[in-house]
């Protein structure tokens, strides 16, 4: 465990000392702050607008950071040859991958906490509150970036950052569109329907982590009114964790067999 | 406890490159053993397969054929890795870390307790003359300083076996001497050192035994002294000739002027006694008799030419 913690802590430290991440965080904070201005353009809907724009900002920048850092996570170690120094140490390759992933999650957690704090401050400035539905919404967005990070790490175990980024972004877009793809499948013939449904079962259903505005249990959920309950939070988080573990295990298997030339 | 700390038995590695999966045989056949407490040189020209062999021994590359054992265990093995230190060729480290942070990370990976890590890191930093750069990130280190921190990280786990891939590359003569001295010091401490290089004078100054690899095939393995004394190239007799005529030179011998007299180079050992007798009888006084044995460079060039001929 000590070795995994050491790799995770080093990954976090690398991110903290990476200026590009600060730039991304700066733009995320800027977007959340812009919600203040956008809110003021609306009539009595300032708090609602700030919540929507703020969550959108956390979601967007969380995913951008997850893909940007995730696809480089293993590739950079190979490209800079740092892996040649680390892997001959008494460390299993899977421990290395797990440590990198955990470090990445810690980085994302801190980034999202900062974005959440800024959003909370902006809401407070307009007389709103960062209430339980908002905490749940940010929590689900964190599970969302956890899944995206795992996918990015999986692709980075065997392909270049450009391709990994392309595939991870593709998975994100498709994953968010799973309900639409399923709706489309209903309108098609049995074979196409079966194929699309199989496809939807394989790609991550990322729509689960952005449920605001969706129908859950015959009711529309929203961070402004009635948000998802504890059972939904548990099942969505369980799904996200399970999906991440499966993808991460695949990444470990690919990494285990690699020659580091 | 076995006397053999590292064993390569018929190791081979074939890479498949490009879209057409072209076969590249990086290592064809590498077999050698390294004994406890010695400095073992792994010699070969650029691209001969030295680094690939070491990467196979370190578990970074999987062999296509053959087997390897490190500290009595088949590669890769975590227990063996715990007792092993490795410096890769042209090492790159986490450049945002300071030497102390980097060694602390390495220590944690080697399961060194936290308090001991700090102590060991400071001792190694001082031992390798890097204490002036304690707070500086590694990105600001020169090539020589990086090489030294690379050696420090290899020693962080207090290893029995230290494997260094091209440790002298890019170093100036002073830097090379420091690394040579350090290797000798490690041997004095009872550690085994294996290093790859193509810088032959360093090998002559440090190694007990060597293996030579050409075109991916290990050709000669053995104690340096044995490999070099096996062949007598010629005998040089330096003498001062004051009176009379010089004796006739045997076939193949050559004569040249030396600062304090003349030097005859006799390729055949059988001619030495007869020539000496004749020279003394002719009034010459002998200054020195030097058997010229094959140098490491001669051996290296001969092996390289034989390899070329075989290909």
pLDDT digits (tens, 9 = 90+) for A207-250: 999 877 777 777 777 777 788 888 999 999 999 999 999 999 99
State whether A90 and B79 contact (CB < 8 Å): yes
Give the pairing type, strands B73-74 and B65-70.
Answer: antiparallel
Q: How far is CA A241 from the centre of its chain?
A: 12
Closest CA to B281 of B305, B307, B247: B247
Query: Among partner residues A7, A13, A261, which is closest to B61 by beta-carbon distance?
Result: A261
Query: Among partner residues B55, B84, B91, which is closest to A85 by beta-carbon distance?
Result: B91
Q: Is B108 on the interface with A (CB under 8 A)?
A: yes
Quote ipTM for the complex: 0.84
d(CA A78, CA B91): 12
How long is chain A? 261
User: Testing the interface with B: which of A88, A93, A100 to mutate, by most B Cβ within 10 A?
Assistant: A88
pLDDT confidence of residue B311: 67
Sheet holding B161-165, edge to edge: B73-74, B65-70, B4-17, B22-35, B217-223, B209-214, B39-43, B192-197, B161-165, B84-87
CA distance A62 to chain B (A): 24
Q: Is B81 on the interface with A (CB under 8 A)?
A: yes
User: Testing the interface with B: which of A84, A86, A254 to mutate, by most B Cβ within 10 A?
Assistant: A84
Q: Are residues A144 and A210 in contact, defined by beta-carbon separation less than 8 angstroms?
A: yes
Taking residue B185's Cβ as centre, other Cβ atoms within 10 Å add up to 12
Where b means 16+ CB within 10 Å and e means fewer, A137-152 reads: bbbbbbbbbbbbbbbb
Joined tokens for residue B157: 């786990």
- Per-residue pLDDT of chain B (311 residues), as tens digits, is 459 999 999 999 999 888 788 899 999 999 999 999 999 999 999 999 999 999 999 999 999 999 999 999 999 899 999 999 999 998 889 999 999 999 999 999 999 999 899 999 999 999 988 989 888 999 999 888 899 999 999 999 999 999 999 998 878 888 889 899 999 999 999 999 999 998 888 898 999 999 999 999 998 899 988 887 667 788 999 988 766 677 788 888 898 888 878 889 998 888 999 988 988 888 888 889 988 877 888 888 888 888 888 76
Q: Is B117 on the interface with A (CB under 8 A)?
A: no
State whether B61 and A259 contact (CB < 8 Å): yes
Q: What is the DSSP letter of B212?
A: E
d(CA B233, CA A249): 62
pLDDT confidence of residue B230: 63
User: Testing the interface with A: which of B73, B94, B196 to mutate, by most A Cβ within 10 A?
Assistant: B94
Residue whose pair of structure tokens reads 């990130």 in the numeric block = B137
Taking residue B309's Cβ as centre, other Cβ atoms within 10 Å add up to 7
Q: What is the DSSP letter of B216?
A: T
CA distance B162 to chain A (A): 12
**Within 13 Å and on the Cβ side, how many CA atoms surround B273?**
1
- In Å, what is the CA distance from B177 to each residue of B127, B183, B188, B192, B224? 15, 10, 16, 19, 20
Residues in chain A closer than 8 A to B61 (CB atoms) = 259-261
In chain B, which residue's Cα lies nearest the Cα of A11? B94
d(CA A175, CA A145): 12
Q: Is A201 on the interface with B (CB under 8 A)?
A: no
Q: Which of A23-27, A111-115, B106-110 has the lowest mean pLDDT?
A: A23-27
pLDDT confidence of residue B2: 53
Instruction: Give the helix ranges, DSSP H, for chain B.
Output: 50-57, 78-82, 99-109, 114-127, 143-155, 173-188, 200-206, 224-229, 272-281, 296-310
Closest CA to A101 of A200, A242, A248: A248
Q: Is A19 on the interface with B (CB under 8 A)?
A: no
Would you say residue A26 has pLDDT above 90? no
Q: Is A42 on the interface with B (CB under 8 A)?
A: no
pLDDT confidence of residue A255: 92
Query: Among partner residues B94, B108, B157, which is closest to A3 by beta-carbon distance?
Result: B108
Where b means 16+ CB within 10 Å and e means fewer, A89-108 reads: bbbbbbbbbbbbbbbbbbbb
Q: Is A52 on the interface with B (CB under 8 A)?
A: no
d(CA B296, CA B266): 21
The whole-model pTM stands at 0.86
Tens digits of per-residue pLDDT, A157-197? Answer: 888 899 999 999 999 999 999 989 998 998 888 899 999 99
Rounded to 5 degrees, φ, ψ at B288 are -160, 150
d(CA B116, CA B131): 18
State whether B106 and A89 contact (CB < 8 Å): yes
Q: Which of A20-29, A54-63, A85-94, B134-143 has the lowest mean pLDDT?
A: A20-29
Q: Is B115 on the interface with A (CB under 8 A)?
A: no
Judged on CB neighbours under 10 Å (0-12, 13-18, 19+), B269 is exposed
β-sheet bridge partners, residue B285: B240
Q: Is B78 on the interface with A (CB under 8 A)?
A: yes
Judged on CB neighbours under 10 Å (0-12, 13-18, 19+), B120 is buried
- In Å, what is the CA distance from B11 to each residue of A140, B25, B31, B262? 51, 11, 7, 51
Size of interface A-B (CB pairs under 8 A): 82
CA distance A39 to chain B (A): 41
Query: Among partner residues A91, A257, A261, which is closest to B15 by beta-carbon distance?
Result: A261
pLDDT confidence of residue B242: 65
**Within 13 Å and on the Cβ side, how many CA atoms surround B250?**
18
Count the helices and strands in chain A (H runs, E runs). 10, 2
State whether B58 and A92 contact (CB < 8 Å): no
Tens digits of per-residue pLDDT, B253-263? Answer: 898 888 878 88
pLDDT confidence of residue A243: 97
Q: Where are the domains of chain A?
A: 2-256
């Amino acid at each position: 465990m000590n070795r995994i913690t050491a790799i995770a802590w080093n990954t976090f430290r690398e991110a903290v000392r990476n200026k590009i991440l600060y730039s991304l965080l700066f733009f995320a904070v800027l977007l959340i702050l812009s919600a203040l201005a956008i809110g003021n353009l609306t009539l009595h809907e300032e708090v609602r607008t700030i919540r929507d724009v703020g969550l959108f900002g956390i979601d967007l920048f969380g995913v951008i950071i997850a893909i940007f850092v995730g696809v480089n996570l293993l590739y950079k170690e190979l490209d800079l040859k740092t892996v040649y120094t680390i892997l001959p140490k008494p460390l299993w390759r899977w421990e290395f991958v797990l440590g990198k992933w955990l470090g990445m999650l810690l980085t994302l957690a801190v980034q999202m906490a900062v974005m959440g704090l800024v959003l909370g401050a902006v809401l407070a400035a307009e007389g709103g509150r960062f209430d339980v539905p908002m905490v749940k919404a940010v929590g689900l967005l964190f599970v969302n970036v956890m899944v995206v990070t795992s996918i990015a790490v999986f692709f980075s175990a065997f392909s270049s950052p450009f391709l990994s980024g392309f595939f991870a972004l593709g998975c994100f877009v498709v994953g968010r569109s799973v309900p639409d793809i399923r709706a489309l499948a209903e309108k098609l013939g049995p074979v196409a329907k079966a194929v699309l449904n199989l496809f939807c079962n394989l790609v991550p259903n990322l729509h689960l982590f952005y449920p605001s505005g969706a129908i859950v249990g015959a009711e529309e959920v929203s961070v402004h009114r009635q948000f998802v309950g504890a059972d939904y939070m548990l099942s969505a988080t369980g799904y996200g964790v399970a999906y991440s573990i499966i993808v991460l295990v695949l990444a470990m298997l690919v990494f285990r067999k690699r020659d580091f030339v | 406890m076995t006397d053999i700390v590292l064993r390569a038995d018929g190791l081979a590695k074939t890479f498949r490159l490009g879209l057409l999966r072209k076969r590249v045989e990086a290592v064809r056949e590498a077999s050698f053993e390294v004994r406890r407490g010695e400095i073992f040189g792994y010699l070969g020209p650029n691209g001969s397969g030295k680094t690939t062999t070491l990467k196979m021994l370190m578990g970074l590359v999987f062999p296509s054929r053959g087997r390897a054992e490190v500290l009595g265990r088949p590669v890769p093995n975590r227990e063996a890795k715990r007792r092993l230190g490795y410096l890769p060729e042209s090492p790159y480290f986490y450049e945002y870390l300071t030497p102390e942070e980097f060694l602390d990370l390495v220590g944690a990976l080697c399961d060194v307790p936290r308090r001991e890590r700090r102590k060991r890191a400071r001792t190694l930093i001082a031992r390798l003359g890097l204490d002036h750069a304690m707070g500086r990130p590694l990105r600001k280190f020169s090539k020589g300083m990086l090489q030294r921190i690379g050696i420090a990280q290899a020693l962080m786990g207090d290893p029995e076996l230290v494997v260094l891939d091209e440790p002298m590359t890019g170093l100036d003569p002073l830097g090379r001497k420091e690394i040579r001295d350090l290797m000798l010091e490690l041997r004095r401490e009872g550690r085994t050192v294996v290093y790859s290089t193509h810088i032959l004078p360093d090998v002559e100054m440090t190694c007990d035994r060597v293996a030579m690899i050409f075109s991916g095939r290990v050709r000669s393995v053995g104690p340096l002294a044995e490999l070099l004394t096996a062949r007598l190239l010629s005998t040089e007799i330096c003498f001062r000739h004051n009176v009379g005529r010089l004796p006739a030179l045997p076939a193949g011998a050559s004569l040249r002027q030396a600062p304090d007299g003349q030097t005859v180079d006799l390729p055949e050992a059988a001619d030495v006694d007869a020539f000496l007798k004749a020279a003394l009888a002719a009034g010459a006084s002998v200054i020195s008799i030097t058997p010229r044995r094959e140098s490491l460079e001669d051996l290296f060039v001969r092996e390289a030419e034989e390899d070329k001929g075989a290909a």
